[in-house]
């Protein structure tokens, strides 16, 4: 039975790597020529007036949607392949016996690449805690995994450039390391539901599946199918809002309450962001509008991170394993971390 | 044969349970499917990424939602 599996796969091994190799140049050419194509379409084919506001709005939309979707497809594919090299088991093994600070750094970094979905947060939490991984290190992982999101990286890179994407990843890492470390120092194990320590977690009885390059490329395509089919609509709506605001909202509209000189703008952005539940795909085009219309980088970053990284539904899921004081402490510390980042960026830029 | 679907109840787990039922019906084998959403129970199997499938107390796979055809292969493999 099993040999049949292997045989069936080996026929395709040579083939599947060819798919991305053939598609990549096509992707590149399309990406490079996208702007001239769109411009030609809008100005020549449609014959629209170059300086009118409505032309700019339409051009912005027609250009940004395929650009962002193309970037998204490529990055999600690559991340899907990278993630196939990681698993919760390997991450747990790497974290076992690591001291607090080093553990926090490792857990946060692994949080970016380990495949994770919020519905697995509890099984993962149990698995980590049962293996003796400190609470603070576990939290670093649980904070980094949703906060540093590949879709967000793509959108920031596509809409603002690589510097902003890098700022996002490094500040996200900082918050995850910082918050986990503080939670570890506070020794809050007493606020974990007692049953967590009473269950007897077993070891996985199955061996980890051996993956060949073929499987990994499949994993990349699966990730594209799952993620792009879920977020494309948010991206289009977000860019449509962005395009509308791009042409019609006055440039300094946001400056009065989200500008860098308004000291309360950062805590306000976090306060507004936490109960809001949206995925990265929906929130970033909105952030783009905020920035363009005079909101400061620190405030916008804080708002975005509060929306993506701290969400009410996920926090409620954690109630199953954590008592309220720990949940409040967790939200409080992460919110503080986000605010530090916000203030810092408002100060620097 | 007992087939367990481990998962707290998110979309993926529901999909997996549906597909597993279809697979069992199409294979025409004598198997009962149980849904396990108790976290402590899931942890006992050592599963950290849901949904997972357990056949006769052995974890067959975890952290993915295979197609009905793939599930048939997993189930027939799990029987032997």
Using DSSP bridges, classify how beta strands B52-55 and B32-36 pair: parallel, antiparallel or unpaired: unpaired
Q: Name the residue of chain B whose CA is nearest to A195's CA.
A: B40
In the block, which residue shows the tokens 């990681």?
Answer: A86
Shortest CA gap B41–chain A (Å): 8
- SS3 call for B4: strand
Question: CA–CA separation, A177 vs A180, rounded Å?
Answer: 5
Q: Encoding tokens for residue A33?
A: 């020529």
Q: Encoding tokens for residue A147?
A: 């906060």
Sign of CA dihedral A305, A308, A313, A314: negative
pLDDT band at residue A81 under the 50/70/90 scheme: very high
In the block, which residue shows the tokens 């400190």?
Answer: A134
- In chain B, the largest separation of any two C-alpha atoms, in whole Å, equals 32
- Name the CATH topology of B2-79: Glutaredoxin (3.40.30)
Across A334-349, b (16+ Cβ under 10 Å) vs e yields bbbbbbbbbbbbbeee
Task: Please indicate whether, in this complex, the C-beta atoms of A119 and B47 are within 8 angstroms of each other.
Answer: no
Instruction: Report the alpha-carbon angle B60-B66-B72, nearest 5.
Output: 70
Q: Does any CB of chain B come closer than 8 Å to the CB of residue A96?
A: no
User: What is residue A207's predicted lDDT score, i.e. its pLDDT?
Assistant: 67
Most confident range, picked from A157-161, A173-177, A290-294, B53-57: A173-177
Q: Which residues of chain A make contact with B73, given a CB cutoff of 8 A?
A: 5
User: What is residue A347's predicted lDDT score, i.e. its pLDDT?
Assistant: 86
Residues 6+ apart with CB under 8 A from B46: A127, A201, A202, A203, A204, A205, B59
Task: Please indicate whether, in this complex, the C-beta atoms of B45 and A202 are within 8 angstroms of each other.
Answer: yes
Mean pLDDT of chain A: 85
H or E element, residue A10: helix A2-16
- Closest of A284, A88, A264, A301 to residue A175, by C-alpha: A301
Looking at residues A166-184, what average pLDDT do you find?
93
Looking at residues A166-193, what average pLDDT do you find?
93
User: What is residue A6's predicted lDDT score, i.e. its pLDDT?
Assistant: 44
H or E element, residue B18: helix B11-27
User: What is residue A31's predicted lDDT score, i.e. its pLDDT?
Assistant: 92
Q: Which residues of chain B make contact with A92, given a CB cutoff of 8 A?
A: 48
Q: Please give the residue that has the higher pLDDT: either A208 or A346.
A: A346
CB proximity under 8 Å: A 216-255 to B: none
The number of beta carbons lying within 10 Å of the beta carbon of residue A42 is: 20
Q: How many residues does chain A have?
A: 349
| CA distance to A156, A248, A264, A289, A291, per residue, from A251 (Å) | 20, 9, 21, 10, 10
């Amino acid at each position: 039975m099993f040999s049949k599996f292997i045989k069936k796969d080996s026929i395709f091994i040579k083939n599947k790597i060819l798919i991305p190799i053939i598609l990549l140049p096509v992707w590149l050419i399309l990406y490079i020529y996208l702007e001239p194509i769109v411009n030609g379409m809008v100005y020549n084919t449609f014959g629209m007036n170059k300086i009118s506001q409505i032309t700019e709005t339409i051009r912005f939309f027609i250009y940004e949607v395929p650009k962002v979707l193309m970037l998204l497809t490529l990055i999600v594919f690559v991340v899907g392949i990278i993630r196939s090299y990681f698993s919760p088991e390997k991450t747990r093994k790497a974290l076992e016996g690591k001291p607090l600070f080093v553990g926090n750094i490792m857990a946060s970094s692994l949080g970016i690449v380990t495949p994770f979905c919020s519905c697995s947060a509890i099984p993962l939490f149990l698995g980590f805690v049962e293996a003796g991984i400190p609470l603070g290190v576990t939290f670093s992982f649980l904070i980094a995994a949703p906060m540093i999101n590949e879709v967000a990286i793509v959108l920031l890179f596509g809409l603002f450039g690589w510097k902003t994407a890098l700022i996002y990843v490094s500040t996200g890492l900082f918050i995850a390391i910082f918050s986990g470390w503080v939670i570890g120092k506070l020794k809050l194990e007493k606020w974990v539901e007692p049953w967590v320590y009473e269950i007897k977690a077993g070891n996985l009885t199955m061996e980890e599946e051996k993956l060949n390059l073929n499987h990994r490329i499949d994993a990349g395509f699966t990730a594209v199918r799952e993620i792009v089919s879920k977020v494309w609509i948010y991206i289009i709506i977000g860019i449509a809002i962005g395009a509308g605001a791009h042409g019609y909202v006055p440039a300094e509209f946001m400056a009065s309450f989200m500008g860098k000189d308004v000291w309360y703008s950062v805590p306000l952005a976090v306060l507004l962001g936490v109960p809001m539940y949206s995925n990265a795909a929906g929130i970033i085009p909105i952030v783009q509008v905020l920035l363009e219309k005079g909101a400061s980088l620190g405030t916008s970053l804080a708002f975005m991170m509060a929306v993506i990284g701290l969400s009410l539904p996920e926090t409620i899921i954690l109630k199953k394993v954590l008592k309220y004081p720990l949940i409040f402490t967790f939200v409080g510390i992460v919110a503080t971390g986000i605010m530090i980042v916000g203030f810092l960026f408002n100060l620097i830029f | 044969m007992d087939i367990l679907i481990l998962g707290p109840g998110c979309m993926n787990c529901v999909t997996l349970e549906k597909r597993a039922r279809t697979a069992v019906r199409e294979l025409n084998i004598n198997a009962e499917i149980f849904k396990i959403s108790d976290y402590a129970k899931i942890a006992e199997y050592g599963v950290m990424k849901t949904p997972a499938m357990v056949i006769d107390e052995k974890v067959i796979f975890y952290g993915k939602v295979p197609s009905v055809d793939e599930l048939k292969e997993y189930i027939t493999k799990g029987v032997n």
